[in-house]
Structure 1
């Protein structure tokens, strides 16, 4: 019998929360600046809609805020450990670059976490 991926694995790989097999986002768009936010309308495996209602992902912005806060603190601590005397402008530039680099990842991950909170896994759908 085939085992299904864990919740954590399906969230980190942006799989459908209902069947944990279908892709939430089209492949190959992660680092494309104009397409990283494109999302499949529904799961190709089980048919689960990835936008259950209008404005559903509004709450994902709070998840994204939390993820970015963790990333910012990590960058700040690393900078403090690696560079003895750094200026505020150095920190702000580094944080700005971090936002740009991690935007596609935090965007997708926050949406994946948000929908996983509301759509439960169903073995029959897998």
Structure 2
């Protein structure tokens, strides 16, 4: 249903050009030795995953925004709904940020890449490949 949208590519961690190739070598974000490892190109459409050196530094800003959103959500849930005090909030918020760092890291990279690469249907990709040949 969402295929063809940027949200699909970001949440499924798929190539923004074809929505088929995986952005990361491993599916498990908690495999810390491979957390940031990405192929050089998409295995399906051959889109370069590293357009230029240092490209993904901008993903830090996306990660920051997602972490702030998480902190606000934890704050609202704890203070408004359950009336916990601030010290509990600080501890649980820190734990949530640490536990959710790997998925936030990957989603941030996917979102940053999606800012610059748009989806192409299989027909559009075939036409582009014909022009290149």
Q: Which residue is equivalent to 2:46? A: 47
Q: Which residue is equivalent to 1:100? A: 98
Instruction: Give unmatched runs, 5+ long, in structure 2.
Output: 127-133
**Alignment CA distance shift 1:26-1:115 (3 Å):** same
What RMSD in Å do the two structures reach over aligned CA positions? 1.9
Q: Distance in 2 between matches of 1:9 and 1:116?
A: 10
State yes or no: 1:120 paired with 2:118.
yes
Q: Greater relative contact order: 1 or 2 (C-alpha under 8 angstroms, separation 6 or more)?
A: 1
Alignment of 1:1-40 (within 5 A): 4-40=3-39
Q: CA deviation at 1:122?
A: 2.1
Contact 2:17/2:45 (<8 A) preserved: yes
Contact 1:37/1:104 (<8 A) preserved: no
**Alignment CA distance shift 1:85-1:120 (3 Å):** closer
TM-score by length of 2: 0.83
Contact 2:26/2:34 (<8 A) preserved: no
Q: More helix per residue: 1 or 2?
A: 2
Q: Distance in 2 between matches of 1:85 and 1:102?
A: 21
